[in-house]
Chains A and B, each alone.
Chain A
Amino acid sequence: MKKLILLSAIVLLTACKNDKSGNENRPATESEGQVVNVYTHRHYEADQELFRMFEEKTGIDVQVVNANADELIQKMSMEGEQSPADVLITVDAGRLTRAKEQGLLQPIESEILENAIPSHLKDEDNEWFGLTKRARIIAYVKDRVNPEELSTYEDLASDKWNDKVLIRSSGNIYNQSLLASLIAHNGEEEATTWAEGMVENMARTPRGGDRDQVKAIVAGEGDLAVVNSYYIGKMLNSSDPEEAATAEKVRLFFPNQEGRGTHINVSGAGVAKHAPNKENAIRFIEFLASEEAQEIFANSNYEYPVLEGLEPAQTLQEWGEFKEDTLNLSVLGDNNKEAVLIFDEAGWK
């Protein structure tokens, strides 16, 4: 018992000590001792690299809490005025809208951000800004599906795809946002019919993540999988040669090209309402929208940069350009709850 206590004391001491020595070693800059507290749902290696770059550039220490966006929003709203959060980053526009509605974000003035980011990818009151784009595409196995038969998301619910479609569960935010966009474009009634048709057409009850859907179509469980574009990019460049080989066997289809364009979503950031370090928070988001940061987003995570005129990663270029749905992404948040309710009624697990 005594030994255990002693041991834990030592462990704790070393932990604290390392912390301090880390601070001392940092070069002295004008921003010495400054921090920016980031609540983020993103936990990619690319982000960590970007945080490090920001620290080196500005001397502002980036402190991170990683969790699911829903939990972070809950946490911020409970902490209220005392919340240490400066920046909230989520992987979906719907959640940012929700944070805005709950009064957790504040409008900011930044010429850099206003010029850099297209208007449909940011909040109309400048409370949040999209930073990277991902498209929700249809993946198919090339020898089983003729791409000419593919057209729109709406078409996936038609009888010809009976028992052929793979898509993950309705708990997933990307599906919720897709349905939210369908509600916006076609109205609630048609969206409900669509969800029911999709449930009818599913090759199996939803399970696993996006990568699992891709693997399942290659294995022959279905013919089409609705997934986010960057997962295919990641699979193609996977550490597991088998996974890369699996991804080689599928092709991408960008739906609704004839009409409104393919549904996209963003990872985005906003400044917290009670941010103790507001200036640092703005600098931080501006940095993430800068060219050098956008390049890293694009190259290591296979997402599309929001900055126009910037080349996406090699893998993405091979897929070609596509027309994107320019629906203002705030709508995804407005319709989110409606979407979840429709999913449940349609029996989408």
Chain B
Amino acid sequence: MKQVGSRGIFSIGSRLQRLKRDSNRWSIFTLAIILFIALPIISIAIKLCDGPGETWGHVVDHLLLDYIGNSLFLVFFCGILVLLLGVSSAWFVARYEFPFRKQMEWLLILPLAIPSYIVAYTYAGIFDYGGTLDLILRVLDLEFIRVDIMNKTGLAFILGISLFPYVYLSARAFFINQANNLLEASTMLGVGEVKTFFKLMLPLARPAIIAGLILVLMEVLNDYGAAKYYGVNTFTTGIFRSWFSLEEPDTAVYLSALLIVIVFALILFEKWQRRNVEVSSSKSNNHRIHRKRGSKGMQVSILCFVLIPVALGFFIPVLQLIYWTFLTAGKVFDMDFIMLSVQSFGIAIISALITVFFAVLLIYFAKWSMLSFFKNIAKMGILGYAIPGAVIAIGVMIPTLAFDKWLIHFLDDWFNIHTGLLINGTLVALVYAYSVRFLAVAYNPIESTSLKVHSTIPDSSKVLGVGNLKTFFKIEFPLIKAGIFSALILVFIDVLKELPLTLILKPFHINTMAVKAYQYASDEMVMEAAIPSLFIIFTAAIPVIFLNKLLIRK
């Protein structure tokens, strides 16, 4: 948008005129969807007007510094760890040929399949007295080494090894698809590998890397299970504490608001840092990266290096879980378990489809609306991802209950039909909450593929008189299919792992694997939690491998 501020009073008038001229039905649709998705968040925001609760002063005096300190500590150290693990592995996998490279490509994504609180429990189990490490040391006849992982440094480590794939994925996509020409030029000019990486590749990949990093940091700020178990007080544990222990939703809402401010700052930072970078890739002549084959020794060292994050984030926790399963198998596995897995799977698929549907609507309605600032408004829809699941659950309950109660009276008054709650306590509320929570997860991959479709393509279709919808289905949809599939898979995995929101909103009769695993774990029956955890991991792992195929294929 051009600067018009200097024209003073006229600017407002001309802006309004322009607003009137440019708004169309798509603008209205966009607003409708945004409102629908943001309703829970708005409900929470309205609660802010009630002022902070009585204990707000108490929280500020005794707890707030701790929350801020710990949250920033986690953001900082976890951020560094995911950058180190994610970027380095992405570079090696994209740039070099080495044995088992193909397998490594998808193995590096698999840590995403394990809920981070499960990783936290398994590592605590490994380093415990009488834990796996202790047993191994005893077999080797060595002294017990006490590794204390249950503290904030340990938590940063746990979150880092389970979340680095977000950075890996976005960095790798850049290296594979957009780096080749520059890389060739740089090599031809005789610049060494190391220098090329640090001076050229890293700065260029920065927007992609930071986009992944932002996702990680949102997850970090959102973590509840792992932080609680490790005794680290963060904003999220604080929200739970003031909402439930201090019985002050108002104070919890204030904390949520502070958290949202931090996340908003992160999002703005991300926008700012990629302000000068051309996003839509007009350089369609960029070939895929050409892989280098080093010496035997080098190939093996690369393999070993890349194996480190895979082992930390996937193999070690899974092996520990398999060991626990071995100890408890008879207890947990029965017919109910199969029923449970079908339900879990079904809910995750339905929620993924609906969430992706909303994301596509949001992106394209905003696009077709002539008002360019609508694209930024559309971004508001993804805020849900930054808000703790429990808060979203409460946010969903406020408007849906109001609607439910209205509906009950309406049906009673006009049709003399007596009903109970029609939305709350059913799948509808649960799936709605998932969509609000995970819209960002669907939004990002779809948006980034849709940006790659240069605007001249749909434009020429429209010039020829084809409508928006037809253009979308005939031309754009096939082009962004890969993005849509990635979005489906990512939301599917997230729903499969989701916990606090599900705990609060899930209907009678229906249960998910994540809830089952948590029930065991929170009763300190961590070993019994192993089987449902493994189910989540393997159900999520299959689409992850599929996702990798999708991303590799151009």
Could you tell me which A residues sit within 8 Å of B by CB distance?
A: 1, 4-5, 7-8, 11-12, 14-15, 18-19, 37, 43-45, 63-68, 70-71, 74-75, 78-80, 82, 84, 98, 168-169, 171, 176, 205-212, 215-216, 218-219, 221, 231, 234, 238-240, 242-243, 245-246, 276, 336-337, 340-341, 344-345, 347, 349
Contact = CB atoms under 8 A, between A and B. Distances in A.
Nearest to A231: B524
A154 to B, nearest CB: 24
A68 B408 CA distance: 28
Interface string B244-261: 111101000000000000
Contacts of B243: 70, 74
Contacts of A7: 349
A71 B504 contact: yes
A210 B350 CA distance: 38
Contacts, number: 161
B401 A66 contact: no
B73 interface: no
B231 A79 contact: no
18 contacts: A8-B350, A11-B345, A11-B346, A14-B342, A65-B508, A74-B504, A80-B401, A82-B404, A84-B420, A98-B247, A206-B231, A208-B150, A208-B230, A212-B124, A239-B327, A242-B135, A337-B246, A349-B66
Nearest to B504: A71
Contacts of B131: 242
Most A CB contacts (10 A, CB to CB) among B62, B66, B511 go to: B62
Contacts of A210: 524
A169 B241 CA distance: 12
Interface in B478-520: 481, 484, 488, 503-504, 506, 508-509, 511, 515, 519-520
A341 B241 CA distance: 11
Q: Identify whether the interface residues of B are mostly helix, strand, loop, or mixed.
A: helix
B454 interface: no
Contacts of B554: none
A68 B519 contact: no
B240 to A, nearest CB: 8
Contacts of B240: 70, 171
Interface residues of B, number: 72
Contacts of A205: 151, 231
B390 A71 contact: yes
B405 interface: yes
B245 A70 contact: yes
Of all A-B residue pairs in the complex, the 5 with the closest CB atoms, nearest first, are A207-B231, A70-B244, A219-B129, A242-B130, A11-B346
Contact of B524 (A64, A211, A340): A211
A308 B243 CA distance: 37
Contact of B424 (A63, A68, A74, A79): A79
B217 interface: no
B128 A215 contact: yes
A94 to B, nearest CB: 10
B129 A218 contact: yes
Contact of A12 (B62, B151, B350): B350
Contacts of B424: 79, 82
A68 B503 contact: yes
B174 to A, nearest CB: 27
B328 interface: yes
Nearest to A70: B244
Interface in B449-493: 481, 484, 488
